[in-house]
C-alpha cells in the first residue's frame, strides 16, 4: 500500500498582479469641461504681476504729480494691492473657464457675472497651434490656439489646458477638419 503511493507534485503558480486601477474618467462629449486646477496658480501669478506693475506705476505717477514725499511707499502699496487683486482675478478667471468639443464646433466659456462664450465651427478652422513654455511643460499644461477664417476674432486661445486634453483637442479638430475637406 505504501508502494502504490506516488509522490504528488504540487504545481502552484503564484501570480501576484497589482490591483487594477479604475479607468480614468472620460469626459462625455459635448459637456463643458473645466481647466485643470493646477493652471490656476500660473494664471494668478501672471495676472497678479501684471496688475502689481500697473498699479505701482499709476500710484507712483499720481503721487509724483501731486508732489507727495511718500511716493515710494504709495507705489509699493499699489504694487501689493495690485498683486493681491490681480492674483485673485487671475485665479477666478482660470477657474471659471470651460471648454467643450462636439461634432460641429469648439466652445469656450469664460466668466461668472460677465460671461463670454466663443464657438468656433470646425468648418472655419484654418490651422491649430499647441504651445508649451517651460513652466507649462513642468506643470503638464499647454495652450491651444485655434486660427479661424475671417478677420474679426480670428484666433481663439485656451491657456492652461491639460497637455493630454490639448493634444486630443488638436488631433480631433484636425481630423474633423480633414474629414470635412474630404467631403467637399
Residue 124 DSSP class: G
Residue carrying C-alpha cell 496658480 = 41
Instruction: Using CB atoms within 10 Å of the CB of residue 167, give its burial: 0 to 12 exposed, 13 to 18 middle, 19+ buried.
Output: middle
Collect all residues with Cβ–Cβ distance below 8 Å to 114 and sequence separation of at least 6.
Answer: none
Write down which residue in 68, 95, 122 finishes a domain: 95
pLDDT, tens digit (0-9, with 9 covering 90-100), for 31-40: 899 999 888 9
pLDDT, tens digit (0-9, with 9 covering 90-100), for 78-93: 999 999 999 999 999 9
CATH classification of the domain holding 150:
2.30.29.30
- Whether 10 is in a domain gets the answer no
- Whether 8 is in a domain gets the answer no
Edge-first strand order for the sheet with 155-162 is: 125-131, 141-148, 155-162
Angle between helices 39-65 and 71-95 (to 10 degrees): 150
Collect all residues with Cβ–Cβ distance below 8 Å to 168 and sequence separation of at least 6.
Answer: none
Q: What is the pTM of this model?
A: 0.69
Q: Is the pLDDT confidence value at 52 over 70?
A: yes
Q: Is the pLDDT confidence value at 7 over 70?
A: no
| Structural domain span for residue 182 | 98-184
Same domain, 112 and 183: yes
Question: Domain tally for the chain?
Answer: 2
pLDDT, tens digit (0-9, with 9 covering 90-100), for 121-146: 888 888 899 999 998 898 899 999 99
Write down which residue in 51, 78, 95 finishes a domain: 95
Buried b (16+ CB within 10 A) or exposed e, 40-68: bbbbbbbbbbebbeebbeebbeebeeeee
Instruction: Give CA torsion, residues 22, 23, 25, 29, to 10 deg.
Output: -150
Per the CB < 8 A criterion, the answer to whether 146 and 128 are in contact is yes
Same domain, 120 and 184: yes
- Whether 12 is in a domain gets the answer no
Amino acid at each position: 500500500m505504501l508502494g502504490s503511493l506516488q509522490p504528488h507534485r504540487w504545481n502552484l503558480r503564484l501570480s501576484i498582479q497589482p490591483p487594477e486601477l479604475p479607468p480614468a474618467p472620460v469626459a462625455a462629449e459635448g459637456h463643458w469641461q473645466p481647466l485643470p486646477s493646477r493652471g490656476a496658480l500660473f494664471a494668478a501669478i501672471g495676472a497678479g504681476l501684471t496688475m502689481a506693475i500697473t498699479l505701482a506705476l499709476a500710484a507712483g505717477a499720481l503721487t509724483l504729480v501731486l508732489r507727495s514725499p511718500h511716493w515710494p511707499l504709495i507705489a509699493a502699496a499699489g504694487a501689493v494691492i495690485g498683486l493681491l487683486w490681480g492674483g485673485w482675478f487671475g485665479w477666478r478667471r482660470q477657474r471659471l473657464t470651460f471648454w467643450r468639443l462636439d461634432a460641429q464646433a469648439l466652445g469656450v466659456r469664460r466668466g461668472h457675472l460677465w460671461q463670454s462664450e466663443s464657438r468656433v465651427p470646425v468648418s472655419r478652422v484654418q490651422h491649430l497651434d499647441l504651445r508649451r513654455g517651460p513652466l507649462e511643460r513642468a506643470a503638464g499644461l499647454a495652450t491651444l490656439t485655434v486660427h479661424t477664417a475671417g478677420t474679426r476674432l480670428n484666433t481663439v486661445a485656451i491657456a492652461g489646458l491639460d497637455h493630454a486634453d490639448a493634444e486630443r483637442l488638436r488631433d480631433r479638430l484636425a481630423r474633423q477638419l480633414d474629414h470635412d475637406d474630404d467631403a467637399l
